[in-house]
Amino acid sequence: SSEPVFNFAAGPGMMPRDVLRQAREELLEWQRSGMSVMEMPFSGEVFQAIQQQAQQDLRELLGVPADYRILFLQGGASAQFALLPMNLLPAGATTDYADTGHWSRKAIAEASRYVRINVAASGAARDYRQIPTQADWQLTPGAGYCHITSNETADGLAYHWLPETGEVPLVADMTSDFLSRPLAVERFGVIYAGAQKNIGPAGLTIVIIRDDLLRPARPETPSAFSYRVQAESNGRFNTPLTYAVYIAGLVFQWLKRQGGLSVMAECNRRKSAKLYEAIDGSDFYLCRSCALDRSRMNVCFHLADDALTGEFLRQASEQGLLHLKGHPAVGGVRASLYNAMPEAGVDALIAFLHAFAARHA
């Protein structure tokens, strides 16, 4: 059909149309190189230039300080749940983790195979409707690091502040809000993110790490997953995800053309605010999370009458509002509003919310 389609999937999620168009233009031949980026040897000059440009653009966008390295790895964020402790700490070391929802629990479960975990803060007591405030944190002095999930993709919660952890390096899984807003990189020891939301194709995984944390990994760590080995070989220890790195690079350039991360943050604030307003303004829909901690990427809500959810999703998808189903662990409805979601998509969703409520009231 000629009606526009809006993809609200949590990930892989919507990509900027301009980026996809440019990739199509360049698919068969990249800038008179005689070949597709997919066909380029990774150690050749042309691909190296693409990789360096992507790194440099990301460094500029985020303001990554000189004493941090940017790594383009493989394996997704779930692999990082294990690779983080394997790279940073010896067996038996103690770490702090905040449990704020589904994805922090996944991170904790996996990391607990490699390190001792103290749950320094938990949203459980408040049914995961809120990020625990600093006063509720019980940090372990001398912990190897303190891990947070900056945006809980399934629960629809996000930090709009950063916990104070003193000398203990703050580590964040930013898979679902990376590049959605400006970031004080210098407050973190390690930041990691899977690419499939705001960056590019699934599989590509970005790790930003402060130089002093680039220690030798535990001996059982595969070399391809050693932060230090990858940093020392400029990400070319083995064949990197060449095509995904190229696409991510196009996204970084697109973000720069939009005006950078403050502009994106303002767009994302506006898009999510109007959707939350529509939900809060109706008895038909319910958002349970505390207003101060709501995600601007993943807007999670329920229908007051849960039995109507299936019909809601069916009608939405008929109108080109796709993949609004909530995470299976949480249920309900989830609208993911990543950078690439135009405001028109949010407006269309809001119009649908009103129309559906009116039809079924």
Which residue from 12, 76, 182, 342 is in contact with ligand PMP, where contact means CB under 6 A?
Answer: 76
Is residue 57 a contact residue for ligand PMP (CB under 6 A)?
no
Is residue 149 a contact residue for ligand PMP (CB under 6 A)?
yes
**Nearer CB in complex with ligand PMP: 16/194:** 194
**Site for ligand PMP, residues 177 to 196, rule: CB under 6 A:** 194
Radius of gyration of the CA atoms of the chain, in A: 21
Is residue 230 a contact residue for ligand PMP (CB under 6 A)?
no
Choose the binding region for ligand PMP from 75-83, 161-169, 234-242, 255-263 (rule: CB under 6 A).
Answer: 75-83
The b/e string for 181-196 (b: 16+ C-beta within 10 A; e otherwise) is bebeeeebbbbbbbbb
Match 């949480």 to its residue by tokens: 330
Cβ at position 202, least distance to ligand PMP in Å: 6
Please state, in angstroms and rounded to a whole number, the distance separating the CA atoms of residues 355 and 162.
39
Is residue 207 a contact residue for ligand PMP (CB under 6 A)?
no
Instruction: Establish whether 197 is a catalytic residue.
Output: yes
153 labelled ligand-binding: yes
Report the largest interatomic distance among the alpha carbons of the chain, rounded to a whole angstrom: 63
Cβ at position 84, least distance to ligand PMP in Å: 12
Cβ at position 257, least distance to ligand PMP in Å: 26
Instruction: Establish whether 67 is a catalytic residue.
Output: no
Is residue 156 a contact residue for ligand PMP (CB under 6 A)?
no
Choose the binding region for ligand PMP from 16-24, 45-53, 73-81, 220-228 (rule: CB under 6 A).
Answer: 73-81
Which residue from 77, 86, 204, 341 is in contact with ligand PMP, where contact means CB under 6 A?
Answer: 77
Binding mask 95-134 for ligand PMP (x = CB under 6 A): --------x-------------------------------
Which residue from 33, 36, 56, 78 is in contact with ligand PMP, where contact means CB under 6 A?
Answer: 78
87 labelled ligand-binding: no
**Nearer CB in complex with ligand PMP: 88/195:** 195
Q: Which of 96, 155, 197, 293 is catalytic?
A: 197
Helix axes 242-258, 261-280, angle to 10 degrees: 80
Residues that bind ligand PMP (CB under 6 A): 11, 76-78, 103, 149, 153, 173, 175-176, 194
Q: Could you tell me which residues are annotated as the binding site for pyridoxal 5'-phosphate?
A: 77-78, 103, 153, 173, 196, 238-239
- Catalytic machinery residues: 103, 173, 197
